[in-house]
Structure formats: structure tokens, C-alpha cells
Chains A and B, each alone.
Chain A
Amino acid sequence: MRTDTTGRVVALHLAVIAVLVALLWILPDYHRGVMARVLVLSVFAMGYNLTFGYAGLLSLGHAMFFAAGLYGAGLAAYYPGWSVLPSFAFGIACGGVLALVVGFLALRTTGVAFMIVTMMFSQVFYLTTLYYTTWTRGEEGLVLGTDLRTVSLGAATLELWEPTTRYLVAVGLFSVVFLATMAIARAPFGRILIAIRENEERMRMLGYDVHRAKLKAMVLSGLFCAAAGAAYALLFGYVGSSFASIQYSILPLLWVLLGGAATTLGPLFGTVFMFYVVDVTSGYTSAWLLVVGVALILLVLFFPKGVFGTIRERWLKWLP
């Protein structure tokens, strides 16, 4: 009989979440603020990991899905003055629809062409945010006031700008996506995605509609990334077009590569690590671009499986 690893996998993931909650009392204020941001961005990375890591689709356009959530939620809150929950839902829906349309078109191509097509669609999105500057205020961006970021649930009110609440909401969103990724990775669907990455032609001859499976992965990935974007707008109150720039398509690639593609823990690790590397080095030099560039090259040259990919290969084969 095969050993069942479900118990320890679930325990490990719950332990990670418990540690993140505990950090609320351990971390000083500054780092709690940083970690709230990092957790939201690692949700973005987890979304990217689903397509890049598991399904093997190298996209350079995921900034558009993050930005779709950011603008969907941000604009809905700013202009018609929607409350937090509808804005958040609208942001996620925007990302899902965009991923469906972009995925349907871009997945007709593979490999390098897929990368270029996704990059171009994302660039169109970025230019669109600049073109409608009267609405978006372009790079300068919109600032959502604290009144727009207060949830009233019956008698209770949740003030999303307040550091403790913000941190806990970030942990909450992270946990949902984190556990969802774990479930997907271990489900038949996760096996299908990995197998498509490994041998697409064989999958077709096993009777799988490869295009459809990839499209599903794209939409899920778009939903995760948009959830991160929408949460970013509502937690930190800033909506700017720099989040749609190509920079933000490359960063999740870097985070996922560093932590380990197709691992559930990799995106979190990669995001935390890179954020702090940039944070620490910026004390000595402003050359954070150099840090990112050197990190990318060293990773592909010497460490292509990333931290958790290597751990899984060497020691813990059961890591999802």
C-alpha cells in the first residue's frame, strides 16, 4: 500500500499559517507592515506559480491580472463609492474575465510566442491605464481614503487601514489561497497540469483536452492574482499604473523561481526573501535593480529548482 502523506502535508500547511498568525505579536510595527504587504504579494506569486510552476506556462503578462484586481476594486470603491466587499468581488471578477479572454487567445500559442503574446496584452493593459489618465491618474495613482476601506458587518466594523486588522486580513487571504493551492496541487487537476508541463503530446493521447485544462489554470491563476491586486488596493489604499508595468510581471517570476516553481511553499519564501534582500540592501545602496538582475541570473545558472524544489528533490519527496 502506498503511504498516505495527506496528514503531514496538511499539518505542515496549517503550521505555516499558525506561525504567520503568531508573528502578529512577535513582529515590531515596521515589519508587521512589511509582512502584510509581502503576504498580499505572495498571493500574487502563488497565482503566478499555478501557471508557470505547475502548468509550465511562462507568462510575462501576469501584471495585468494583478492590476485588473487592483483597478477593478480600486475604481469601484473610488468612483461609484462601492463598499469594500462588492469592490473586492468586482476586482476578482475583472481578473477572472480578463484571464479567460487572454488565456483563450494566448493559449493558441506555445513557448516563446506565448511569453511575447502575454507580455503584449499586459502592455496594452498598462497603456490603457495611462491613456485614461483622467480616471486613473496614471503613475501618480489614486489614493483610497480610510472611509472607503472600512467594512461594516452588522454591528462590527473592520478598519482595513488599521495595522493589526490589515495584517490579519492579509494572513486570511494568504491562507485561503495557500490552502487552495495545496488542494489543487494534490488533486487530479494538479496532476493533469504537471503532466501537461512534462509531456503535452502524451496528455493529448491520453484523452485530455489540453487547451481546456490550461485555460482553467489561467483563469484560476487570474483569479488568485486579481484577489491579490484587489486586496492590495483595499488594504493599502493606493491604485497606480506602475503595478501594471512589465516590472510586476517579472517580479512574481523571480519570487517563484527563487522559492521553487511548482511548490506550495516556494512563492511565500521567495517573496519574503526578495523583499527583505531589497529592503536590507537598500540601506547600503539604491541599486535594487542590480540585486534583482543578479538574483535572476544566478538562479537560472546555479539553482534552477529554487529552494523548495531542491528540498523536495533531495529530502522531502512528499512536498506538494
Chain B
Amino acid sequence: MAAVSPLLVTRDLTRRFGGLTAVDHVDFELPAGEIRAIIGPNGAGKTTFVSLVCGRIQPSSGQILFDGADITGLPAHERVKRGIAYTFQITSIFPNLTVFDNVALSVQRRLIDKGGRMTARDLEAGVAEALARVHLTDRVDMTAGKLAYGHQRLLEVAMGLALKPRLLILDEPTQGLSDAEIDSFIALVREIAREATVLLIEHNMPVVMALADRITVMSNGAPLAEGTPAEIRANAEVQQAYLGSTADV
């Protein structure tokens, strides 16, 4: 047994939509510091699962523990304050505000929580730091909606980063990015992982294999297998259920 308790634990976590059980009695553990990828076919319940974790939707039953504390009943904004940040699958920024304002909203959230007076200088420094990490510094005064698509995804990540989360959930972050953008994205996530635990939903297998410490495969609302990239690659059951015969990974 590991000496430290995991950062995130779910017990028996279940969510039903009408007759459909999207997440089915999931027991899940994520140790601090890990990059974990969740993979699985469409409709496997990946997005529903992380939405339960970050509080966008409420579970039908089960329990969520973050850093040892039960957060099942907490509203989403309280969970963010405790250090869970979520970036949306469909880019969700403030298109009519400037890039600065988009990131400033995250920075001021963190500064307010820290207490004390928030100065304009602190705010600018926080924004500059987050934008530098995603290489968007020169676009600080642009209207966010006018950024190229790939840059909007990066802005979304910067908004998550600026919260300085302990757990960063990335929901299909590389969707729609070019190959070059994906490469720099992989480097970015590795850098993030030095300070935060990363939970990643991803379809792009090379990205998963390059980044993940461990992989959880979901199918029909429940984990099917879990292991290192090498183990998952070798797992016949996974080949069958998910990768099919075209196992080109």
C-alpha cells in the first residue's frame, strides 16, 4: 500500500440519465503527481465521469473524495476553490472579452481566495505568467473570439493554469489542433505536471502514449482496465473492446 492517500478517489460513483446509466458504480483512484489518461470509445461515459468530479453534474449515488475530504455535495465553484480545474471539451472562453480579461478572471479568483488586497500589479503579473506558459503573451489585448482556434484552446488551458490547480482536468484538449500545435501541447502538459496532477481525456493515442503515466480504459460507464501505457497496449481485452483489430498503437 502506498503511504500517501490518493488525491482523488471515487467510490461507487453512479450517474443515470433516465434509463441510461452513463457512469456505472465507478471506483477510481488517482495518486497526486500523476498524469492519468482516460480513454474509451464514444459514449463510454468519460466526459460524464469528469463532469461528476468537477461538479458540473450531480451523481445519482456514490462518493467523491478530494485530498481525503468528501466533496460529493459541494457545488462546482467550491470544488474549484479546493483546487480542481476543468477545461471544456468544447472551447468555452469569453469571446467578447480580451485575452487579458479571460485570464484575469482566473487570476483574480485565486488572488481573492488567498485573501488580502489584490493589486493591479499582482493581477497583471499573474496573467503574464499564465500567458507566457502557453506562448500567447503577444496577443494579450486581442479579443478572445478573434483568436485562431488552436490559440483559443491554449487560452482555455491558460485559464485553467492561472487557477494554479492541484488537479487539472483536460477534456479532449488536442481536438482540432495541428500536429505542430500538438507537439508543443505535449511539452506544455509535461511542464504542468511538475506542479499539478493531470487527468486527461484524449482520443489521440500518440498523445496518450507520450504523456500518460497510467491509463484507465472506460467502456459502458465503467473502467475496463487500468495500467501503464505498455500494459494497456498489451491488454487483449482492451484491443477487443476499444482498439479493435487496427491496433496501430
Q: Say if the two chains contact directly (CB < 8 Å).
A: yes
Query: Closest residue to B54 on the A side, CB-wise?
Result: A205
Whole-angstrom distance between the Cβ of B128 and the nearest chain A Cβ: 10
B76 near A2 with CB under 8 A, answer no
Whole-angstrom distance between the Cβ of B97 and the nearest chain A Cβ: 7
A sample of 22 inter-chain contacts (CB < 8 A) reads: A2-B140, A188-B112, A191-B97, A191-B104, A192-B108, A195-B105, A199-B93, A199-B94, A201-B92, A202-B88, A202-B92, A202-B93, A202-B94, A204-B76, A205-B56, A205-B85, A206-B109, A206-B163, A207-B77, A207-B81, A209-B75, A209-B77
Whole-angstrom distance between the Cβ of B35 and the nearest chain A Cβ: 21
Chain B residues lying within 8 Å of A202, measured Cβ to Cβ, are 88, 92-94
| Most chain A beta-carbon contacts within 10 A, residue among B56, B94, B100 | B94
The yes or no answer to A210 lying at the interface (CB within 8 A) is yes
8 Å CB interface, B58-112 against A: 75-77, 80-81, 85-86, 88, 92-97, 100-101, 104-106, 108-109, 112
The yes or no answer to B124 lying at the interface (CB within 8 A) is yes
B101 near A195 with CB under 8 A, answer yes
The yes or no answer to B241 lying at the interface (CB within 8 A) is no
Indicate which residue in B97, B112, B118, B163 contacts A198 across the interface (CB closer than 8 Å): B97
Q: A2-B140, A188-B118, A191-B101 are in contact. Are A207 and B94 (CB under 8 A)?
A: no
Q: How far is the CA of A275 from the CA of B36 in the complex (A)?
A: 63
B109 near A208 with CB under 8 A, answer yes
Chain A residues lying within 8 Å of B97, measured Cβ to Cβ, are 191, 194-195, 198
Q: Residues of B with Cβ closer than 8 Å to A? A: 54, 56, 75-77, 80-81, 85-86, 88, 92-97, 100-101, 104-106, 108-109, 112-113, 118, 123-124, 140-141, 159, 163
Query: Closest residue to B87 on the A side, CB-wise?
Result: A205
Q: How far is the CA of A195 from the CA of B77 in the complex (A)?
A: 15
Q: How far is the CA of A115 from the CA of B13 in the complex (A)?
A: 38
The yes or no answer to A203 lying at the interface (CB within 8 A) is yes
Q: How far is the CA of A208 from the CA of B94 in the complex (A)?
A: 15
B77 near A210 with CB under 8 A, answer yes
Chain B residues lying within 8 Å of A201, measured Cβ to Cβ, are 56, 92
Chain A residues lying within 8 Å of B88, measured Cβ to Cβ, are 202, 205
How large, as a class, is the contact surface on chain A? Answer: 10 to 19
8 Å CB interface, A174-223 against B: 188, 191-192, 194-195, 198-199, 201-210
Chain A residues lying within 8 Å of B56, measured Cβ to Cβ, are 201, 204-205
A2 near B100 with CB under 8 A, answer yes
For the complex of A and B, 7 pairs with smallest distance between CB atoms: A207-B80, A198-B94, A188-B108, A202-B92, A207-B109, A204-B76, A209-B77
Chain B residues lying within 8 Å of A192, measured Cβ to Cβ, are 105, 108
Query: Closest residue to A205 on the B side, CB-wise?
Result: B86
A191 near B76 with CB under 8 A, answer no
Chain A residues lying within 8 Å of B118, measured Cβ to Cβ, are 188
